Amino acid sequence: MKMNIKNFITSAIISTVVCFSGCKQSEFDYKMVEFNAEDVNSIVFSAGTNMLIADGKATLKFIVETYKDVKKSDGSVVKQLFDYRKLPVGTVKIYEETTNKEIGLTFNTSTAVAGSKLRFYAQVGNIKSPVKEVTIRATPPVLPTLYVDVIFHVWELNPTNVAYDLSSFQPTNYSDIVNGLKIMNDIINNKVGNAPNGAAANIEFRLAAKNVAGQTLQFPGYDRIVYSDEIKVTPTAPTIVLADFVDYINKNTAKFIWNPKTYLNVNIFPYGSSSGAGNLAPAKQLAAGPGEILIPGVTAIATNADDFVTTFQAATVFMPNTVYRPGFERRIEIFNSIGSFYGLFSTYFAAGRLYSDFCQDTPEYVGTGSDLTTNIQTAINGEKFFLENAMDDNRYPSAHNSITLDQVNRMRSVMLRCPGRMNSKTQ
């Protein structure tokens, strides 16, 4: 005899109620560990930098770490880090010592005198951190606007090639190229962030309107190149490698490197952000004129503005196409490659650079052994800071929202005085 469905459902509900009515709430009082001011035995405090531009926008972002002394069974004492945000609201206080004012977790000023020093410290109860001294910098003057015409040489594998598959060779959308350039302009002109030493480069990178023959481009700044096995150095090689692109361009410079004195040539290849194509830092600079100093790190003196070699490595930018597919809810960030072309360096420490990117206001950090999943790093001087520089490695977390005043000055100097990079215009 078949069970009536209605009766079956009713029985199931009753059984469930009976089952759960027999359950008893645990008598153990689950409670998160609570901390108070008396638990804090020491404070590690950082201002993130030792310089601040007094323009009312540039902002110090303080980093606070609170520690509790814990006694081990052997009698020794270790320091245990705990999140200061677990303390009651208002427990952590940050002061500026010279004015004795409480200021909070961020600070900016438009009234402090250039060259003066402010002194900051954190305090919880009776425990104070060491004082951090910050030197005030004057608001930089507005620089004359420079314009750079950019041509993106976008290399797309021919769909007829046997190696082609859509999952590996996704086309680079023109709309993404346009958007990426706009984002970059906003960042380097200080429209996005509020870094403590952030400044406006007053440089507009714009999509080239015409080609080398003076013909109007259908899509400004866009040169699509469909390639196949003809670019291989060794025709019988099983795959096309990055060196094949470099060799092919260097054998056809008239076609693939537009006049470096007029254009910024950017080659977009189907590779990832970890790839390198041997592009070189600026090699020569014009002799320093009246009131100028030599650009640090550019060792040779050029005879004139034409003293450069037109090769892929010396006169173009390599950009992996994966930067145009940054992932869900991440913006397109292309400045790393372009900044390098104009003499800037990654903030990620490299031994070959001898601990210097020639910019005193950009904290550098050693990536080896660091937690690269966080946007707080420890600089080579031991101070912690927030990553927010456009030259931070774009594979790892960073606000990527600004460049510093020293980076602005270095970039413009290279653009105006290093042959092969002197492609800016005044209108």
Q: Could you tell me the residue ranges of all domains in the chain?
A: 37-137, 146-425
What CATH number does the domain located at 146-425 have?
3.40.390.10
The per-residue b/e assignment along 311-340, b for 16 or more CB within 10 angstroms, e otherwise, is bbebbbbbbbbbbbebeeeeebbbbbbbbb
Predicted confidence (pLDDT) per residue in 244-254, tens digit: 999 999 999 99
Tell me which amino acid residue 170 is: Q
Predicted confidence (pLDDT) per residue in 37-96, tens digit: 888 999 999 999 999 999 999 999 999 999 999 888 888 888 989 888 889 999 999 999
DSSP 3-state percent helix, strand, coil across the chain (nearest 5): 20, 25, 55
- What local confidence, expressed as pLDDT, does residue 25 receive? 57
The domain made up of 37-137 has a fold known as Immunoglobulin-like (2.60.40)
User: Band of the pLDDT at 168, cuts 50, 70, 90?
Assistant: confident
Instruction: Give the separation between CA 66 and CA 86, rounded to whole angstroms.
Output: 10
Predicted confidence (pLDDT) per residue in 369-390, tens digit: 678 888 999 998 889 999 999 9
User: Band of the pLDDT at 1, cuts 50, 70, 90?
Assistant: very low
CA distances 320 to 72, 267, 323, Å, are 52, 8, 6
With beta carbons less than 8 A apart as the criterion, state whether 359 and 406 touch: yes
Give the Cβ contact number of residue 248 at 10 Å: 20
- What local confidence, expressed as pLDDT, does residue 32 receive? 60
Predicted confidence (pLDDT) per residue in 185-213, tens digit: 999 999 999 999 999 999 999 999 999 99
**Structure-block tokens of residue 339:** 């900044």
